[in-house]
Each structure stands twice: as C-alpha cells, then as structure tokens.
Structure 1
Amino acid sequence: MPRDIDVLVLGGAGVDTIVHVPQLPLPFADSHMIRPGITTRAGQSGDFVALGLTALDLRTHHVDLLGDDHEGDLVRALHRDHGIPLTALPHPAGTKRAVNLVGPDGRRQSLYDATRTDGPDRLPESPVRRLAAASRHAHVAITHPWVHALPLLREAGTTLSTDLHDWDGADPYHEPYALAADLVFLSAAALTDPERTIRDIAARGRARTVVATAGADGALLLADGELIRIPAVRPPGPVVDTNGAGDAFAAGFLFGRLNGEDARRCALYGAIAGAHACTVPSTRTGAVGRGDLLARAAAAGPAGRFRPPAE
C-alpha cells in the first residue's frame, strides 16, 4: 500500500475557551472585568500539530474521537477550512474541551474537562490500521484512549513520535507513550533534572532522539547519545500567547526529520516554528509556512539564533 500520508496525527482534537485574565495566578475576587473578552475556538494539541505540519506542506491526516456536538462541529470546520483530512470517530462523552486562562505576558493555565475523557477504552482497529499503513510517520497525542493504538502503529511499520507535555518524569500514565516512540518531545517545566529524564527515556525506550523544550531558555536535545543545548529563537513579533508553542516546535522538528535533516537542524526548525506560535493571539490559529520557516532558518546566526535578514 502506498504511504501517501506524510504524518498521521492521532488524538488531541478539541475546543478551547480562551479567557484573558489580568495576571496569573488569578487573584481571588468576587468578579473580574476582563478584556478583550472570552472566545471559544477549535484547537488543542493534535489540532495544532496538524495545522503546523499542513502549513509546512506535509501531507497530514488527523484522526480522533469527536462528539456529535457543537464543539465537534467547530473541530470539523477547522480542519475543513485548512484543508486537513480528518477521520472523526464517534465519542459518546462528547468532544474534548478546556478553558485556557491567558495572562498579559502570554503565559497560560489550562483547565481540562475530565468528563470528556470518559467513554470507550478501545479504538476501532480497522480505520487505525488502514491509516497507519498509508503513513510514513505517526504522531500520537497522549489523550485517552490512544495508548491502545501504539501496538497497531508498530505493526504497520511506521515511525512514531509523541509529546509528553509537562510530564514530571514519574507519572505512569505517560510511560507507555514515552517508551514506545522513536522520537519524544516534552516540556522541561515540571522536571527537576531534565537531562536525567531524557536520558532515562532513551535508555528504557525506543527513542534515539528526545527533546525537552524550555521556552525562552531553548531546548535540550538528546540525539544518538549526544546532549545538545538548543538556544531559543527570537520571535518575529511581540509574544502574546505561548499556547501551542510546543506543538509548533514538534511540527517544525518533524518537517526537518521527514526531509532528512540532522537533529540540530530539525531542532532549529522547531525553535523557529515555536517562536512564531508565540506571536499568534490565543483567539486565532496560525502556523509558520514552509517558505517563511526556511527563510528564517537561512538567516539564523552561528549560534542558531534568528537574525532578521538585512533589508
């Protein structure tokens, strides 16, 4: 069967309600008057990865469980508007949703509706096997119940990546993903010793490449046993929201990997894509395009930091 999908994104579809708050943590008060207001839009981790990959001209397909509800309609419309093929499997508990509190500096705090993670413990295997067989690579979100897809993806012979997000290095929920993937992304936010954690992932699992992102402090990359510190990239505009920056990093990194670039170059692409994401308001969805990404990478200095091209 021809592998005419570059990246199959599994899971992570949902809807966020964006609430701008005067500061984080939000001080206790009976009420707060907030601007620019409250916005509900489609876009969670898997959606953002799929958007980022599509903007970089990779043939992308997204599959997840969606409810027959308003939130599901928003997710379906997002994919339709951006030309991203979507396989929506029925979910009786409804489409995943969250509330994101966004501070003036772009930091955010997410509140996930755990009731939307209830439902079937198993996935219908037939569509997953069919899509996996047609894919060069699969990126698996850690949302329920996609852990059960990991053996199916392995059987199909596709390479795997996952994003553990703010894993603390100990929660057993994340371990099956961490140990099954060939490429692992995670945030360093909850790690006391990021180097120890990423080396442990590589030692116990399949991954030869592990990346711990740290926002403005760059990232720590472990590639074939070599530890590499990746500097941050200066955003091309004001930082207005950090939501989706890690997903954009993953999309940029995967773009480089699927085009045969070495790990350092992949990480540079990821850093550029992540920095771009920080300039996109939380009420919108947008990703860096292929031409823009390559131009910014070409303009990167020796240390890997973006420098605007001379006019």
Structure 2
Amino acid sequence: MSTEIDVLVLGGAGVDTIVYAPQLPLPFADSYMVPTITTRAGQTGDFVAVAVHALGLRTHHIDMIGDDHEGDLVRALHAERGIPLTVVPLRAGTRRAVNLVAPDGRRLSLYDSSRSEAGDRLPVEMVTAFAAASRHAHVSITYPCAFALPMLRAAGVTISTDLHNWDGKEPYHEDFAYAADLVFVSSAALADPEQTMRRIVERGRARTVVATAGAEGAYLLVDGEFSHVPAVDPTAQVVDSNGAGDAFAAGFLLGWLAGEPARRCALYGAISGAYACTVAAMSVDSIDRGALLARAAELDPTAGRAAAGDGTREWR
C-alpha cells in the first residue's frame, strides 16, 4: 500500500504553563517568587509530533482543540515546525496544564479536567482516511482517541501508545494498552514493571513493551524476553524532564519502523530522551536524525553503521 505519512499522531495537543519551582514537593506557603512563568504549546501528542518530524519521518497530527488563544498557540507551533495539523473543534476549549519544574528537572503536572466532554470524538471518516495513508499511528491516551482505536485496527495500520504513569490497575488505560502493537509506559507507578508488561502482552496485541525508568534506563519485553537497557548520559546539563518520555518514544519509533532490533531502538530512544532533558521547558525542541545517529555511533559503532543505511532498509 502506498503511504504518504510515516507516523500519524492522534491526540495529545494542548498548552502548558511552566512554573520553575524552588523545590518539589513544594511546602505550603502564602506565596513564592519564581524565576519565570511561561505558557507555550506542547503536550504529549505535540511533543511526539515534533520529535518524529525532527527525525525525518513524515508526520501528521490530528486532534480536537478549541477556538481559543491556547488553540492558536498549538496551531502556531505546528505551522512554525512545518508539521501538518488537522483540527476538530473542541467545544470545551483546548486542553491545558500547569507544570511545576524543580531545579533538578523533575516535573509535577496539573491537568485541567474541564476541557473534556463525554461526546468528544474524532470523526470516523477522518480517522479512516488518514489511517489508510499512514504506515503507523501513535495514539495519545486522551479521551477521544479511545474511540479511534477500532478504526485504526480495521485499517490495518500498526499502533503505538504511551500509557505514561499508569499504575497497572486503572481501567481507563486498558483499551490503549491492549489495542497497541507497541506499548510504552513509565515504570514510576509500577510496583512490578515486568509483571505489568507481561500482562499487557498476555491480554493484548503487543509483542514489544517498553517501560521507561528515567535515569535508570528502560526495561524491554520483546517476544517474551525481558531485559534492561541502560540510560544514556546527556551531553549537557539536565534542566527539565518535560517531553523526555515522548522523545524516547519518537527515537524508538525511528528504529522500529526501519526494522531495527529492539535494543537498538531503545538506544535511539534513550539518546532522544536524554537530549530532551537538556532542553528548557519553554522550548519545544528535539534532536534531529543526524545528531541522534552520530551519538548512536559513538556509543555503539555497529548501531551507527546500521542506522546510516546498509542497503537493506528504506530510510525516508
């Protein structure tokens, strides 16, 4: 099938207000003086779209956003980066959050739950048409996207999703976890990452599950084999963890869509995620393919040669 899109990103568009806190957790006080408060476009779907686009993959983002100032920020971000964005009106307004960022880069996010309504949906015709033109779909766990999963499956497109800080028990995440071919999840809230990863495989479609663990690296479950992948040292000072998990997913997808081994995909993800931690939250920035492959070659010369293209894979 001829495709025009490498990665179709569904959902996850929104706006964050970034507050640099003196520490986390923040002790109760009447007020604090902080260095800066900045509002900018960029939530999980935006970060994935920016990251895969920077890695040279043909990208299209579809989501519901409001006819408001926050929506204008989302539209402007995509226009500036040259990333196609297809919008469905969101009556309650564009999703927004407040992110408190500690001096060591740790983050606490507060999401505005008022921006979602029970009837929110991505149109069937839109999802079906874009899926038919795509190699792969990365689905954010925002509410309307759950209803798009059966359409994507029917279209035959492969699916990835990021469950973020799922505890392995909350039912809301299960539709996403069990419908995807490739599942990402943070290990932060998992008492036993391997157990949860194996349950995802047993109950769902995935044969590859990745649990990211921040500075401790990541865990892989591929065709029943569980392993650990070490983290990659950032090449600059860590300032912010916003978007690091999304960047990891994008790097992993670069390798996965090219048929690379899972550990090499995880290396790409670790490099991309480490880079994201060196970028301040006010800037939605991502490593490009050249820089990622160069870093991969430094860390693993075999990976670098394969990624550069050996005549057996198609790199678009």
Q: Specify the TM-score bucket, using the shorter chain as the normaliser.
A: over 0.9
Contact 1:92 1:119 in 2 (8 A): no
Partner of residue 167, structure 1: 166
**Partner in structure 2 of residue 33 of structure 1:** 33
- Deviations along 1:153-187, one digit per CA (max 9) or x if unpaired, are 01111000000000000000000000000000000
CA contact (8 A) 1:221 1:230 kept: yes
Q: Give the AA of the match of 1:184.
A: V
Q: In structure 1, what is the equivalent of residue 259 of structure 2?
A: 260
Partner of 2:5: 5
Counterpart CA distance in 1 for 2:288 and 2:109 is 27
The SS at the match of 1:173 is helix
Give the share of equivalent positions with the same residue, in percent: 69
On the 8 A contact 2:90/2:120 being kept in 1, the answer is no
Residues 14 and 97, structure 1, Cα contact 8 Å, conserved in 2: yes
State how far apart, in whole Å, the 2-side matches of 1:267 and 1:301 are. Answer: 12
Paired residues, what number?
303
Secondary structure at the residue paired with 2:121? coil
1:246 and 2:245 matched? yes
1:1-311 equivalences under 5 Å are 2-34=2-34, 36-118=35-117, 120-301=119-300
Q: Give the conservation status (yes or no) of the 8 Å contact 2:166–2:173.
A: yes
Counterpart of 1:183, as a letter, is: L
Separation in structure 2 between the aligned mates of residue 190 and residue 263 of structure 1, nearest angstrom: 24
Give distance in 1, aligned partners of 2:277 and 2:135. Answer: 29
Contact (CA 8 Å) 1:140, 1:162: kept in 2 or not?
Answer: yes
SS in 1 for 2:171: coil
> SS of the residue aligned with 2:170?
coil
Q: CA-to-partner distance for each residue in 1:77-100, whole Å, 9 max, x for gaps?
A: 000000000001111011000000
Moved more, 118-127 or 98-107: 118-127
Alpha-carbon distance between aligned partners in 1 of 2:263 and 2:227, rounded to the nearest angstrom: 8
Preserved contact between residue 165 and residue 186 of structure 1 (Cα < 8 Å):
yes
> Residues 108-148 of structure 1, C-alpha deviation per residue, up to 9 Å, x if partnerless?
10000000122524331111111011000000000011100
Note the alpha carbon deviations across 1:46-91, whole angstroms, 9 max, x for none: 0000000000000000000010000000000000000000001111
User: Letter of the aligned partner of 2:287 in structure 1?
Assistant: V
Q: Give secondary structure in 1 for the equivalent of 2:147.
A: helix
Q: Which runs of 5+ in 1 are unaligned?
A: 305-311
Cα deviations by residue, 1:251-283 (Å, 9 ceiling, x for unpaired): 000000111211011000000000000000011
2:243 maps to amino acid: G
Query: Are the counterparts in 2 of residues 239 and 279 from structure 1 also a CA contact under 8 Å?
Result: yes
Contact kept, 8 Å, 2:63 with 2:122, in 1: the verdict is no
Q: Would the aligned equivalents of 1:93 and 1:119 in 2 still touch at CA under 8 Å?
A: no
The residue type paired with residue 28 of structure 1 is F
Residues 138, 160 of structure 2: 8 Å contact kept: yes
Runs ≥4 residues deviating over 2 A:
118-123
In structure 1, distance between residues paired with 2:134 and 2:14 = 23
Could you tell me how far 1:301 is from its partner in structure 2?
4.8
Q: Distance in 1 between matches of 2:157 and 2:140?
A: 16
Partner amino acid, structure 1, of 2:3: R
Q: Is contact 1:219-1:229 (8 Å) kept?
A: yes
Aligned-partner Cα distance in 2 for 1:301–1:73: 42
Segments of 5+ residues of structure 2 without an aligned counterpart are: 305-316
Match of 1:309 in 2: none
TM-score (norm 2): 0.94
Task: Report the AA paired with residue 289 of structure 2.
Answer: R
RMSD: 1.4
Code of the aligned partner of 1:33: M
